[in-house]
Structure 1
Amino acid sequence: MNDRYVALYGRQSLYKEDSISVETQIEYSKYEAHGEPYKIYADKGYSGKDTNRPAFEEMLADIEKRLISRVVVYKLDRISRSILDFSNMMEVFQKYGVEFISTTEKFDTSTPIGRAMLNICIVFAQLERETIQKRIADAYYARSKKGFYMGGRIPYGFGLEKTVIDGIHTSKYVPIPEEKEHIELLYSIYSEAGTSLGDIIRYFRDNKIVNGRGAPWSTARLSEMMRNPVYVKADADIYNFYKSQGTNVINPIEDFTGHNACYLYRGSASETSKFNNLADKDLVLAPHEGIISSKVWLKCRTKCLNNRQSVKPLKAKNSWLIGKVKCGKCGYALTVAKAKTKWGRYFVCSSRLSMKTCEGVGKTIYADILEHYMLAAIKRKLQGFKELTAEAEPHTNPKLNEEKIQLSRLEAEIEQLLIKVSSANEVLMKYINEKMKALDAERNELKKEIYKLSSSANDSNLSVIKNHADKWEELSFSDRQAVADALISVIYISGDQIDITWKI
């Protein structure tokens, strides 16, 4: 025992340069050695959140060799900020008969009270560390929700420019002309039916279009660009897209005017950092202007989503007519079910399927047969258009965007009324019914206006479907949906009757 020495331990994190230095800590600790031999163990630039520190590990090794009789520190949190680590350390100290002394807190570990006081102090030390971490995280999310630049890799197509938001100095993205042209080109190519990310790489290679950052073009990087809302001119359609994906949209829909782009963050509630899963991510409007129209961006983004699911053949419960086909008796959408017959998929009234309030369309509507029928109808319709004009670059129609914003407000108000139905008394139900009737009438008028504005915008976009009908088998599922969406407003089916409302 007499040949043991005192261990003087000091630690300082480089991230806290204003904290007391290791040298000063050791000077304070020397007094507790009381003239006995001592050895200094010092860790500079290491956090106290764990025990992965070289000098600390060396000290533990010397304790196990029974070389140390006493460990002296300037302050408790210099040796540990973790309850678990401290508890494990004290077990080692007791096993090898090592006393522990804190020069500022004056602990005596030879008594139960001293050990209890140590445990209480270490609880507060860990609480302090966790509080600091939470404060840092809260500050990060608070700043991100205001559209501040939060660091990280600068997206292709942009540079940085200093700016001020709410009196706070930050940065925002500004386009780099040559890289911006590359972004516009790749979105333009990918938005066309039948194109792939590989087609973009081959086009860039054949036309000697070099990546401005020096790296070779890759499908992974291109896919990342297609999914990044930092490029989109965010309007009501972008707001509704992210809402439908379960994203936490920070700004109200009124702010989505089709000018600013967006930042997408992991968010404090998200369970994954992968941005293929948009649930619980945070979307906030960015201070810079978008590059790509919402229509083109959504085409590409939807294509990316569908491509992740198109490894298996699209049979089972999918149809490119979903969303277009409705029951001619109740007006509810027809959904696809799967039967164990040679025909497989068939359409069924969603009202009959879920609420049993409709008798259905009257006969079995097999999906393959209806799709074949509609493809023939599309080909006949397209024969009337000998020349299709080139598609103009789409722009956000302010009036159309305003109508979509108002429609979203109405639907949110209707949803809130429906929530109150279950607990409503007779008087409240009467009010809800009257209010619902008025809101529904207003909603229908808005839908008519939106359809009229959308139809006029589609008049110049027929090149999207040029030659598609002749190459139908080559088209992806999302491209077939795009054709249906461009041409068809709604299909009502009742018995043998099929009524098609066209957009052209």
Structure 2
Amino acid sequence: MNNRIDAIYARQSVDKKDSISIESQIDFCKYELKGGSYREYTDKGFSGKNTDRPKFQELIRDIKKGLIAKVIVYKLDRISRSILDFSGMMELFQQYNVEFVSSTEKFDTSTPMGRAMLNICIVFAQLERETIQKRVTDAYYSRSQRGFKMGGKPPYGFHSEPTKMDGINTKKLVANPEEAEHIRFIFEMYADPKTSYGDITRHFAQQGILFYGKELIRPTLAQMLRNPVYVQADLDVYEFFKSQGTVLVNDAADFTGTNGCYLYQGRDVKACKKNDLKDQMLVLAPHEGIVPSDTWLACRKKLMNNMKIQSARKATHTWLAGKIKCGNCGYALMSMINRVGTQYLRCTKRLDNKSCVGCGKIYTAELEALVYQQMVKKLESYKTLTGRKKAVKGNPKITALQVELAQVDSEIEKLVDSLTGANNVLLSYVNAKIAELDSRKQALVKEIADLTVDTISPEQVQQISGYLDTWETLSFDDKRRVLDLLVTTVEATSEKMNITWKI
């Protein structure tokens, strides 16, 4: 241990006039060395709120290697602002017999009083950081209460322009005439009790009108209809939000039917549901609203009366659930039941906004029979492998990809199952989410296919063959397991069927 050296650690989060540079910190620390040799560890541009800093982590590794005798810093908060992190460091220093010195605060960890004083100081360092965080939070709510736009891209229908409020530079929303007309039309359509989300999204899809560069989907539409940024806020709007328990920053007299509003999450609210306005904060914005209050309120109340989305359920209608997709658009097929109790399949995109021609008339039982026949046929070609001596060793990369693929399959399955009896909001959300998951799924399938060569073993062929031979007596869950071993997706219409195999 005699060849251990001293270490100087310096940190600077940002360059400011009132912050001490890393070079100055090192100069202060050199006085403690009295000319001895040392090694520098410096982190520039890193906060002291945690220990996730490259050079600091290098210092810790060198301590554990037994290379460091003493750690010297300019000031305590250079090394940590967290009492938990600092306490852990002190334990580490004691474990490896490393002294700790703060050159400006004169702490000596070799004495009980020095250790006690260090703990007291780190408490105040953490308190200072939390005080700064509170000031930032206070500033946020102070500015939001005064009607400042608090970041984020402008909502559809507006663009932002620089302005000055109370002598402070900020941004103000200004209506885009063409987009504002689309917004007004959306609210006018939805205010009609007979109009659904699908009617609106279908209208804009047929017109080729894009929102944020994409087709309008139901989650985006729902977000627009809930946003008070569009309303020409009058006394009726004031009374509505007041009845919901919303915190109203402005007086009732300020609601003159001209300005839009900003709705912010309340300061003490940890999380809120879409329809829960209690303790949220409503502020009159400096921009002019574009939707009359009566129309906006009619839409908002209609939204609040929507049915609650039911939670996802385990697949019960078909063992193909989660695997079957429309052969035309690639969206999930949903199992439904007609009046006489016969199950059939419908394209969820067709149900959503009729932008797909659909899959045609497919009866669930008939498709199940076809898939079963194809699984039997597929496995027949693999039975010849049982006479070969070629054994395929497990590929760890393939295993990892297959685990991820199973997780994606499971998520898709749950989403598809949740569609049974779902309302329009859930239907749209699930379609968008399934499309996102399916994109990842196809990428995984391709990667696995590229790595896979004769990856099914003779033992697996024999086991699966046994299941297929007793198919009629298998449980629902066992059928799903066999399907999952063999099949990635089944794309089907009334005219054709294509199976993507895992083997």
Structure 1 counterpart SS, 2:154: coil
CA deviation string 1:41-68 (max 9, x = no partner) = 1111111111111211221121122111
CA distance in 2, matches of 1:17, 1:182: 50
CA distance in 2, matches of 1:93, 1:273: 45
Letter in structure 1 aligned against 2:143 = R
What is the aligned residue count?
A: 313
Q: Which moved more, 1:26-35 or 1:132-141?
A: 26-35
Matched, 1:23 2:28: no
Q: Give 2:336's aligned residue.
A: none
CA distance in 1, matches of 2:277, 2:15: 34
TM-superposed CA distance for 1:232, in Å, is 0.3
CA deviation string 1:252-308 (max 9, x = no partner) = 212111111110111212121654432211101111111111111112112222225
Alignment of 1:249-398 (within 5 A): 249-272=248-271, 275-309=274-308
Q: Give 1:38's aligned residue.
A: 38
Q: Give 2:116's aligned residue.
A: 116
- Cα separation, partners in 2 of 1:82 and 1:189, compared to 1, 3 Å: same
Alignment of 1:115-264 (within 5 A): 115-211=115-211, 213-264=212-263
CA distance in 1, matches of 2:15, 2:213: 34
TM-superposed CA distance for 1:156, in Å, is 0.8
Structure 1 counterpart SS, 2:117: helix
Assess if the C-alpha contact under 8 Å between 2:209 and 2:215 holds in 1.
Answer: no
CA deviation string 1:395-444 (max 9, x = no partner) = xxxxxxxxxxxxxxxxxxxxxxxxxxxxxxxxxxxxxxxxxxxxxxxxxx
CA deviation string 1:98-138 (max 9, x = no partner) = 10011111111111111122122112211111111111111
Q: Which moved more, 1:17-26 or 1:241-250?
A: 17-26
TM-superposed CA distance for 1:210, in Å, is 2.7
CA distance in 2, matches of 1:221, 1:27: 57
- Cα separation, partners in 2 of 1:275 and 1:142, compared to 1, 3 Å: farther
CA distance in 1, matches of 2:197, 2:33: 70
Letter in structure 2 aligned against 1:214 = G
Letter in structure 2 aligned against 1:195 = T
Structure 1 counterpart SS, 2:108: coil
CA deviation string 1:175-210 (max 9, x = no partner) = 011111111111111111222222211101112223
CA distance in 1, matches of 2:236, 2:268: 24
Letter in structure 2 aligned against 1:282 = M
Structure 1 unmatched ranges of 5 or more: 313-474, 477-504
Letter in structure 2 aligned against 1:6 = D
TM-superposed CA distance for 1:162, in Å, is 2.6
- Cα separation, partners in 2 of 1:13 and 1:247, compared to 1, 3 Å: same
Structure 2 unmatched ranges of 5 or more: 312-422, 425-503
Q: Which moved more, 1:99-108 or 1:215-224?
A: 215-224
CA deviation string 1:142-193 (max 9, x = no partner) = 1111111221121111111233333333221110111111111111111112
CA distance in 2, matches of 1:151, 1:15: 25
TM-superposed CA distance for 1:310, in Å, is 6.8
Assess if the C-alpha contact under 8 Å between 1:269 and 1:281 holds in 2.
Answer: no
CA deviation string 1:56-93 (max 9, x = no partner) = 12211211221111001111100011111111111111
Identity %: 59
Assess if the C-alpha contact under 8 Å between 2:205 and 2:215 holds in 1.
Answer: no
Matched, 1:71 2:40: no
CA distance in 2, matches of 1:173, 1:79: 44
Assess if the C-alpha contact under 8 Å between 1:141 and 1:267 holds in 2.
Answer: no
CA deviation string 1:200-244 (max 9, x = no partner) = 111011122233x32332211111111110000111221122122
Letter in structure 2 aligned against 1:33 = L
Could you tell me the TM-score, scaled by structure 1's length? 0.59
Assess if the C-alpha contact under 8 Å between 1:245 and 1:278 holds in 2.
Answer: yes
Assess if the C-alpha contact under 8 Å between 1:149 and 1:171 holds in 2.
Answer: yes
Q: Give 1:343's aligned residue.
A: none
CA distance in 2, matches of 1:311, 1:196: 19
Letter in structure 1 aligned against 2:149 = Y
Letter in structure 1 aligned against 2:283 = V
CA distance in 2, matches of 1:275, 1:151: 20
CA distance in 2, matches of 1:17, 1:159: 36
Structure 2 counterpart SS, 1:104: coil
Q: Give 2:431's aligned residue.
A: none
Letter in structure 1 aligned against 2:6 = V
TM-superposed CA distance for 1:26, in Å, is 2.0
Letter in structure 2 aligned against 1:294 = S
TM-superposed CA distance for 1:25, in Å, is 1.6
Letter in structure 1 aligned against 2:130 = E
Q: Which moved more, 1:53-62 or 1:67-76?
A: 53-62
- Cα separation, partners in 2 of 1:51 and 1:274, compared to 1, 3 Å: farther
CA distance in 1, matches of 2:66, 2:45: 28
Structure 2 counterpart SS, 1:194: coil
CA distance in 2, matches of 1:114, 1:181: 70
Q: Which moved more, 1:76-85 or 1:26-35?
A: 26-35
Q: Which moved more, 1:251-260 or 1:161-170?
A: 161-170
TM-superposed CA distance for 1:17, in Å, is 6.5
CA distance in 2, matches of 1:265, 1:136: 16
Q: How large is the Cα RMSD of the aligned pairs?
A: 2.1
Letter in structure 2 aligned against 1:267 = G
CA distance in 1, matches of 2:66, 2:230: 64
CA distance in 2, matches of 1:153, 1:274: 22
Assess if the C-alpha contact under 8 Å between 1:270 and 1:279 holds in 2.
Answer: no
Q: Give 1:82's aligned residue.
A: 82
Q: Give 1:106's aligned residue.
A: 106
Letter in structure 2 aligned against 1:66 = G
- Cα separation, partners in 2 of 1:86 and 1:311, compared to 1, 3 Å: closer
Structure 2 counterpart SS, 1:220: helix
CA distance in 2, matches of 1:217, 1:310: 21
CA distance in 2, matches of 1:182, 1:291: 11
CA deviation string 1:313-356 (max 9, x = no partner) = xxxxxxxxxxxxxxxxxxxxxxxxxxxxxxxxxxxxxxxxxxxx
Could you tell me the TM-score, scaled by structure 2's length? 0.59
Letter in structure 1 aligned against 2:265 = R
Structure 1 counterpart SS, 2:193: coil
